[in-house]
Amino acid sequence: MPKILDRLDKKKDKDIRVLGDFISIFCRENHQAEAKGVFPIKDVRLRHSLGNKDLVLCHNCQKLLNHGITKLLLCPYDPKPMCKKCQTHCYAPSYREKVREVMKFSGLYLVKHGRLDLMFHYIF
Ligand SMILES: [Zn+2]
């Protein structure tokens, strides 16, 4: 992934952080029975984007996060619009459905737990 990471900017940085946090919450709350591992991050910039922390995720959530980060970085628009308002559906259909489920679940989770500070915006 190193090359496309040159496309990181402030907005994408923030969106990647939200994506990572939301998938983490979703996985933690819904996939207790799954085997989990630390999401591998080789690039220091990406690690920074994800909040300089280890994200412990199941296999499928790691795949989803990886897909999401890749699509975010490859976004042809500048500035990147909110994905939910975008005309280009760049996600593979199964991932798109999954990520929307994740955003909805984790968004509600944060509201219920009074963490509105973390909900700067929904990106999907
Ligand atoms: Zn999971």
Residues with Cβ–ion distance below 5 A, ligand 1:
27, 31, 58, 61
Check: pTM over 0.85? Answer yes or no.
Answer: yes
Predicted pLDDT at 4:
85
Question: How close is the Cα of 45 to the center of ligand 1, in Å?
Answer: 24
Distance CA 79, CA 95 (A): 23
Expressed in angstroms and rounded, the spacing between residue 78 Cα and the centre of ligand 1 is 31
Which pLDDT belongs to residue 119? 64
CA distance 88 to 23: 22
pLDDT at 17: 92
Name the 3-class secondary structure at 14.
helix
Q: Are 9 and 17 within 8 A, CB to CB?
A: no
Give the Cα separation of 117 and 101 in Å (integer). Answer: 21
Cα 94 to averaged position of ligand 1 atoms, centre (Å): 15
pLDDT at position 1 is 56
Would you say 114 and 75 are in contact if contact means Cβ atoms under 8 Å apart?
A: no
pLDDT under 50: residue ranges of the chain:
none
